[in-house]
A and B are shown apart, each in its own frame.
Chain A
Amino acid sequence: MSSLTLRNLKKRFGRVDVIRGVTLDVADGEFVVFVGPSGCGKSTLLRMISGLEDVTDGELRIGNRVVNEVQPAKRGVAMVFQSYALYPHLNVRDNMGFGLKVRKVPAAERQQRVSEAAALLKLDALLDRFPRELSGGQRQRVAIGRAIVGHPDVFLFDEPLSNLDAELRVHMRSEIAALHKRLGNTMIYVTHDQVEAMTLADKIVVLRDGRIEQVGSPRELYEQPDNIFVAQFIGSPKMNILPAGSAAGFGAQPAGAVSVGVRPEHLSLVAPEKGQIGGKVVISEYTGASSLLHIRLDSGETCLVVVDGDAPEADMKVGLLAGTDNLHHFDTDGMALRKSRLLM
């Protein structure tokens, strides 16, 4: 088991800065999720931790060891690839035992460790199959099994579930959560999927353009985003950002507030005359449990609202209410003006 420390980590490919100074502490046994838009450097950061990409600048520690110059195999990390990367010419048993074999672990012990991992992941019946004979979910489990067999300190997952269908994803997500609980290892997990991030993470790291935008628990990121980017990235559908002027009806604003954010699920619909601000329904999308309304405000902006149960039809005039607790205020740079500061 190991903690992880990143100090001002940088990565340059040729003349392109991909990781521009990342500082992060990961506690022993923590489940950390990297999220961010495509191309922001999530995979690169993960590969730097694994040693598959070298570090251009900064310091990387695993446990108490600086590992910048340590070979990938000697870092005590295992990685699960998005493509699974199962060797097609080896059966499940040999795929899982590959790392032990190259490290010259005796056959008997190898056998035993493969069996243990197979039992843990319910792969016993599949040991003699080849990857091409497995379903997507089974391949994913083999890939995880191959990581487990090496008894790593740190697990790295690069979008491990993105090739699975929705149902299987939900299932594998809970299996990974259970695995983390059971093994207690430090895990770093890259994903595009909000729900995966929110449900699995002890700590979410939001990346943009090779920099960290915010680090925090899922609840912290949802309730207290540091800036507009994080506010809109976390939560679905994304937070409405309105100019301070248009949102004046919602209540007092701190000095310096340029825009106001409010999540679609925190707005409620009332009769036009009772609303803090008014608008007209443009589109009403029925999704079963709730409906998503696109509302054109009287001030001209479009605003999303999630309502439970019956939703008004298109073209109806409506009023909107938002509790002050649910408002987020941002300055000209898009940085959050915190409520605590407002009260003081």
Chain B
Amino acid sequence: MTARDERAPWLTLKMREAMEAWLFISPTLAGFLIFFVGPLCAVVWYSLTEWNLLSQQSVFVGLDNYDDALFHNLDFWQVVRNSIVFAIGLVPLNMALALALALALSRRFAGVVFFRTVFFAPVVTSAVAWAIVWKFLLQGEAGFVNQMLAGIGIHGPNWLREPDWAMVAVIVTRVIKMVGLNMILYIAALQAIPRDYEAAARLEGASNWQIFRMITWPLLGPTTLVIMVITTIGSFKVFDHIYLMTGGGPENGTLVLAFYIYQQGFQFFDVGYASALAMIMFVIVMGLTVVQLALRRRDT
């Protein structure tokens, strides 16, 4: 090797490695800037204007839109309440069901793949088909669900026509559609737990419940957190399901935040107000996520 070759290169190794790293993340970074940061900035700007799509005029109004939503518009709080009810109904039900299914389907037995497929299939089913089928099943007196209930002596309500029952109906049908996703995540997590833990615990006299409580559940902690966060965010963002099942009705009983934003922006063309609502929703979801992560950190 000549002395020339041994001279320090123009760029140090560290700098070259850093450049490579930037090169690798640049496509994703570009996408993130163009499709996330860009629109976010735009929405922030829109939310400070009075902009009606029909009149094609945009006027800067400061925080008026936020003031409207938070302090003058009674609809808004009703909508927030609906979203919270939806989330509180959906998240625990979804997670409990997902965990129960995962516990049952994480072992190997004949037909297990069939059952996993059955519970996962709704996740990849079109939301439209799902809603059409359930609207049909949930019809008043003649609906399949009420006929079944009548069979065991229960007089079912007219599910999608009464505000409170409509909320129950959209929650349950949404859980059934989406539970397969969390089930798969839980199955993966359960299968990652070495079988020897259970064997050791059983030898030491632990019952099934004790094994679950003292070993399985704590070891599922990180997965449970991820599932909780994504399910909560998903429940606040629910739109298509509401749009297709109830259109936010009856009596705004299922009018949730994302659907309300859509109404304001694309039905009433009040883009400024809709943007302000979107910002509020963004803050709520961010806040919830931060709280969940913090709670988890305190636990461990």
Give the B-binding residues of A (Cβ under 8 A): 47, 50-52, 72-74, 77-79, 81, 83, 85, 87-89, 98-99, 101-103, 146, 150
- What are 18 sample pairs from A and B whose C-beta atoms fall under 8 A apart? A50-B203, A52-B199, A73-B202, A73-B203, A74-B205, A77-B203, A79-B199, A79-B200, A81-B200, A87-B200, A87-B201, A98-B204, A99-B205, A102-B206, A102-B210, A102-B214, A103-B204, A150-B204
With an 8 A cutoff between CB atoms, is B18 at the interface?
Answer: no
- Quote the shortest CB–CB distance from B191 to chain A (angstroms): 16
Across the interface, do B204 and A73 meet the contact criterion of CB distance under 8 Å? yes
B219 closest partner in A (C-beta): A89
Could you say which of A74, A85, A89, A103 contacts B200, with CB atoms under 8 Å apart? Answer: A85
Could you say which of B194, B210, B221 contacts A83, with CB atoms under 8 Å apart? Answer: B194
With an 8 A cutoff between CB atoms, is B125 at the interface?
Answer: no
Q: How far is it, in angstroms, between the C-alpha of A87 and the C-alpha of B210 when the chains are bound?
A: 14
Query: Assuming A74-B205, A81-B196, A98-B201, what are 14 further A-B pairs, CB within 8 angstroms?
Result: A51-B203, A73-B202, A73-B206, A79-B200, A81-B200, A85-B194, A87-B197, A87-B200, A87-B201, A89-B218, A89-B221, A98-B204, A102-B201, A103-B204
- Quote the shortest CB–CB distance from A101 to chain B (angstroms): 8
- Quote the shortest CB–CB distance from A297 to chain B (angstroms): 48
Q: How far is it, in angstroms, between the C-alpha of A77 and the C-alpha of B205 when the chains are bound?
A: 11
List, in ascending order, chain A residues with CB within 8 A of B200's CB: 79, 81, 85, 87, 146
Q: How far is it, in angstroms, between the C-alpha of A262 and the C-alpha of B221 when the chains are bound?
A: 60
With an 8 A cutoff between CB atoms, is B117 at the interface?
Answer: no
Instruction: Tell me the residues in window 203-222 of chain B with beta carbons closer than 8 Å to chain A beta carbons.
Output: 203-207, 210, 214-215, 218-219, 221
Across the interface, do B196 and A85 meet the contact criterion of CB distance under 8 Å? yes
Top 7 closest pairs, chain A to chain B, by CB: A99-B204, A73-B205, A85-B196, A85-B200, A102-B206, A89-B218, A103-B205
List, in ascending order, chain B residues with CB within 8 A of A72's CB: 202-203
Check A83/B203 contact, CB under 8 A, given A89-B218, A89-B219, A102-B214: no
List, in ascending order, chain A residues with CB within 8 A of B205's CB: 73-74, 99, 102-103
List, in ascending order, chain B residues with CB within 8 A of A87's CB: 197, 200-201, 215
List, in ascending order, chain A residues with CB within 8 A of B206's CB: 73, 98-99, 102
Chain B interface residue count, Cβ-Cβ cutoff 8 angstroms: 18
Q: How far is it, in angstroms, between the C-alpha of A50 and the C-alpha of B196 when the chains are bound?
A: 13
Q: How far is it, in angstroms, between the C-alpha of A77 and the C-alpha of B200 when the chains are bound?
A: 11
List, in ascending order, chain B residues with CB within 8 A of A89's CB: 218-219, 221
- Quote the shortest CB–CB distance from B225 to chain A (angstroms): 14
List, in ascending order, chain B residues with CB within 8 A of A78's CB: 203-204
- Quote the shortest CB–CB distance from A327 to chain B (angstroms): 46
B193 closest partner in A (C-beta): A88
A88 closest partner in B (C-beta): B219
Bitwise interface map of B from 278 to 297 toward A, beta carbon under 8 Å scored 1, else 0: 00000000000000000000
A104 closest partner in B (C-beta): B205
- Quote the shortest CB–CB distance from A2 to chain B (angstroms): 16
List, in ascending order, chain A residues with CB within 8 A of B207's CB: 102
List, in ascending order, chain A residues with CB within 8 A of B202's CB: 52, 72-73
- Quote the shortest CB–CB distance from A102 to chain B (angstroms): 4
- Quote the shortest CB–CB distance from B68 to chain A (angstroms): 49
List, in ascending order, chain B residues with CB within 8 A of A83's CB: 194, 196
Q: How far is it, in angstroms, between the C-alpha of A47 and the C-alpha of B215 when the chains are bound?
A: 21
Q: How far is it, in angstroms, between the C-alpha of A146 and the C-alpha of B210 when the chains are bound?
A: 17
List, in ascending order, chain A residues with CB within 8 A of B203's CB: 50-52, 72-73, 77-79, 99
